C-alpha cells in the first residue's frame, strides 16, 4: 500500500508530495488543481510506466490528433507527448518522475524522460508492425526507466515522430495489450463510469462466487428492493446499440416486480455503484482510482456508499483514491468515521492546492473535527 507519493514535472505539477496516505484517500480541491492528474500519476506508477496505459490516459483527455497515413491508407492517432510534461514542452533531458513509498518504507521510482536520438538509423524493427517507415523516425526518444520489482529490466525506448508525437503504429507490439502480473492491480473509473464491455467482463469474473453477494448489497444502497442482477451480454441486450456511455448489458430483479428490469431503465446511481463495486471485487490487493466518486449519487446514499467501500477495501486489501467537489461527499465520510471503528491513518482527506508543493492531509480524527466545527476542507 502506498504511504507516500512524490511527483516531479508531471502535467500541472512541477513538484508535489502526498504523505501519510491511508486505505481510503479522498482528494479535494478547486477545479484545475490537479486531482485527476494525481490519479493518473498513481495509475502510471502502479502499472510501471506501461506505455499503453499512458496512451489510454491521453486518449481520454483528447491529447491526440488523427493523421492520414499515406502509406497505409488509413487514419491513426498521434499522441502529443508534450502534454504529459510540466509546461507542455519537451526538450532533450526533460523528464517526469513518480516515486512511491510503501508501508515497509520501500521506495520505488519510475522515470519517463526525453532524450536525443543520436544513434545511426540502424534499428531492430522485429518488434514493430511496419518495417517500411524508417523515414518517419524522429530525433527524440521517449525512455521509460524503473527500479520497481524487475518487470522492466532495461529502459524502454520509443522513438518519437518528427512532430514529437507517438503514433499507434510506433508502439512496440509488447505494449499493445496489458497483461496480468504487474506490480499492483489497478482500476480507474472516470466520471462516465465503466462501459458495458468492462462491466460484463468484471461481472463474469465473479459470478457464482461469494463476491457476487457483495454486488447485491452494494446495489441495495440505491434500491433496497433489488434481489438479483444478471449479465445478459451487450449483443443480447441491445444488438444495434453502440453508443459511448450506453447503460446496458444487465437486468435487475426487484422483490415487488414480476419481470426483470433492464439496468438502463434505472438511474445513473445504479450504474455508478455497480461500476465501483465490480471494480473492487476484482481488485484484491490492488488499487482503485475513482474520479468524481459521487457522480450520479444522491447525498442520502453517500454514507452507505462509503461504508460498502470501506468494508470491501478491508476484506480484499484494496487502497482507494477518489476525488470529489461535493461537501456532502466528505462530510458523509466524516459520519462514517464517527460510527465505525476507524484507525487514525485508515481514512484521509488530501487537499490539493495549486500553489503548494504538498497536499494538506487530514487524518480520521481531523476529518471528524473539521465536520463538527464546520471547517471547509475542500
Q: Say yes or no to pLDDT of 134 above 50.
A: no
pLDDT at 358 over 90: yes
Q: Which of 73-82, 234-243, 256-265 is most confident? A: 256-265
Q: What is the mean pLDDT of residues 253-260?
A: 93
Short-list 354, 360, 377, CA closest to 11: 354
Q: pLDDT value at position 1?
A: 87
Flag whether pLDDT at 316 surpasses 70.
yes
pLDDT at residue number 9 = 93
Upper half-sphere CA count for residue 19 (Cβ side, 13 Å)? 6
The overall average pLDDT reported for the chain is 82
Confidence band of 109 (pLDDT split at 50, 70, 90): confident
Task: Decide if pLDDT at 120 tops 60.
Answer: no
State the first-to-last Cα distance of the chain, in angstroms, to the nearest integer. Answer: 25
- pLDDT of res. 348: 97
Task: Identify the top-confidence range among 63-77, 123-137, 172-186, 299-313.
Answer: 299-313
Q: Which of 117-126, 158-167, 228-237, 344-353 has the lowest mean pLDDT?
A: 117-126
Nearest 10 degrees: Cα torsion 195, 348, 305, 377 = -100
Report the distance separating Cα 213 and Cα 352, nearest Å: 36
Residue scoring higher pLDDT (162 or 357) = 357
Cα atoms in the 13 Å half-sphere on the side-chain side of 263: 30
Q: Give the pLDDT mean for 59-85.
A: 82
pLDDT band at 43 (very low <50, low <70, confident <90, very high): very high
In the chain, what percentage of residues exceed pLDDT 90?
46
pLDDT number for residue 269? 87
Instruction: Tell me the pairing of strands 2-10 and 95-102.
Output: antiparallel
Radius of gyration of the chain (CA): 22
Q: How far apart are CA 68 and CA 70, in angstroms?
A: 6
Q: Report the candidate in 261, 230, 227, 266 with the shortest Cα–Cα distance to residue 247.
A: 266
What is the per-residue pLDDT for 151? 46
Average pLDDT over residues 77-102: 89
| More confident: 345 or 189 | 189
Buried b / exposed e along 124-138 (16+ C-beta atoms within 10 A): eeeebeeeebeebbb
Exposure on the CB side of residue 73, measured as CA atoms within 13 A: 0
Phi, psi of 61 (to 5 degrees): -85, -5
Q: Is 159 exposed, middle or buried (0-12, 13-18, 19+ CB in 10 A)?
A: middle
Closest by CA to 85, choosing from 30, 7, 189, 167, is: 7
At 334, list the grid cell.
Answer: 466524516
- pLDDT score at 141: 79
Share of the chain above pLDDT 70, in %: 81
Can you spell out the DSSP letters for 277-314? Answer: HHHHHT-TTSEEEESSTTTT--GGGHHHHHHHHHHHHH
Per-residue pLDDT of 328-342, as tens digits, reads 999 999 999 999 989
Q: Is the confidence at residue 29, as pLDDT, over 90?
A: yes
Mean predicted confidence (pLDDT) in 66-78: 72
Q: Which residue has the higher pLDDT, 238 or 91?
A: 91
At 219-230, the pLDDT tens digits run 888 889 999 998
Q: Does 136 score more than 70 pLDDT?
A: no
If DSSP codes are grouped into helix, strand and coil, which group holds residue 315? helix
Kindly provide the residue ranges of all beta strands, DSSP E only, lying in 48-174, ordered along the sequence. 64-69, 74-80, 95-102, 107-116, 140-146, 156-159, 165-167
Measured CA distances, 67 to 165, 168, 200, 262 (Å): 11, 10, 33, 40
Q: Are 347 and 329 in contact (CB under 8 A)?
A: no
- Could you give the CA distance from residue 8 to residue 5 in angstroms, rounded to a whole number? 10
Regarding predicted confidence, which is higher, 129 or 318? Answer: 318
Decide the pairing of beta strands 107-116 and 13-18.
Answer: unpaired
Looking at the predicted structure, is the pLDDT value of residue 233 above 50? Answer: yes
For the entire predicted model, the pTM comes to 0.86
Per-residue pLDDT band at 207 (split at 50, 70, 90) = confident
Range from 27-41, 232-246, 312-326 carrying the lowest mean pLDDT: 232-246
Residue 208 near residue 215 (C-beta atoms within 8 A): no
Q: For the residues 232-244, what does the mean pLDDT come to?
A: 50
Amino acid at each position: 500500500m502506498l504511504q507516500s507519493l512524490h511527483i516531479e514535472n508531471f502535467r500541472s505539477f512541477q513538484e508535489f508530495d502526498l504523505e501519510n496516505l491511508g486505505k481510503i484517500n479522498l482528494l479535494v480541491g478547486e477545479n484545475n488543481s490537479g486531482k485527476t492528474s494525481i490519479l493518473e500519476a498513481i495509475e502510471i506508477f502502479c502499472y510501471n510506466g506501461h506505455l499503453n496505459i499512458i496512451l489510454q490516459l491521453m486518449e481520454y483527455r483528447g491529447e491526440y490528433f488523427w493523421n492520414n497515413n499515406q502509406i497505409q491508407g488509413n487514419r491513426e492517432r498521434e499522441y502529443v507527448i508534450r502534454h504529459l510534461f510540466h509546461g507542455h514542452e519537451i526538450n532533450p533531458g526533460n523528464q517526469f518522475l513518480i516515486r512511491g513509498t510503501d508501508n515497509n518504507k520501500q521506495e520505488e521510482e519510475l522515470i519517463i524522460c526525453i532524450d536525443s536520438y543520436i544513434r545511426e538509423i540502424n534499428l531492430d524493427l522485429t518488434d514493430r508492425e511496419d518495417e517500411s517507415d524508417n523515414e518517419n523516425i524522429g530525433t527524440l526518444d521517449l525512455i521509460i526507466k524503473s527500479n520497481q520489482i524487475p518487470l522492466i529490466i532495461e529502459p524502454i525506448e520509443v522513438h518519437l515522430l518528427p512532430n514529437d508525437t507517438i503514433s499507434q503504429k510506433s508502439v512496440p507490439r509488447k505494449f499493445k495489450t496489458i497483461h496480468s502480473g504487474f506490480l499492483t492491480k489497478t482500476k480507474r473509473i472516470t466520471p462516465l463510469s465503466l462501459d458495458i464491455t468492462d462491466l460484463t467482463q468484471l461481472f463474469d469474473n465473479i459470478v457464482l462466487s461469494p463476491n457476487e453477494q457483495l454486488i447485491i448489497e452494494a446495489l441495495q444502497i440505491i434500491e433496497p428492493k433489488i434481489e438479483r442482477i444478471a449479465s445478459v451480454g451487450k449483443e443480447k441486450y441491445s444488438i444495434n446499440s453502440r453508443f459511448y456511455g450506453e447503460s446496458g448489458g444487465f437486468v435487475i430483479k426487484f422483490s415487488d416486480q414480476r419481470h426483470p428490469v433492464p439496468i438502463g431503465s434505472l438511474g445513473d446511481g445504479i450504474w455508478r455503484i455497480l461500476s465501483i463495486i465490480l471494480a473492487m471485487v476484482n481488485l484484491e490487493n490492488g488499487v482503485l482510482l475513482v474520479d468524481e466518486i459521487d457522480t450520479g449519487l444522491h447525498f442520502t446514499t453517500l454514507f452507505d456508499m462509503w461504508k460498502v467501500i470501506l468494508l470491501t477495501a478491508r476484506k480484499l486489501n484494496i487502497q482507494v483514491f477518489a476525488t470529489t467537489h461535493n461537501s456532502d461527499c466528505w462530510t458523509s465520510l466524516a459520519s462514517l468515521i464517527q460510527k465505525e471503528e476507524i484507525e487514525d491513518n485508515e481514512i484521509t482527506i488530501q487537499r490539493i492546492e495549486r500553489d503548494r508543493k504538498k497536499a494538506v492531509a487530514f487524518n480520521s480524527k481531523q476529518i471528524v473535527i473539521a465536520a463538527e466545527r464546520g471547517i471547509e476542507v475542500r
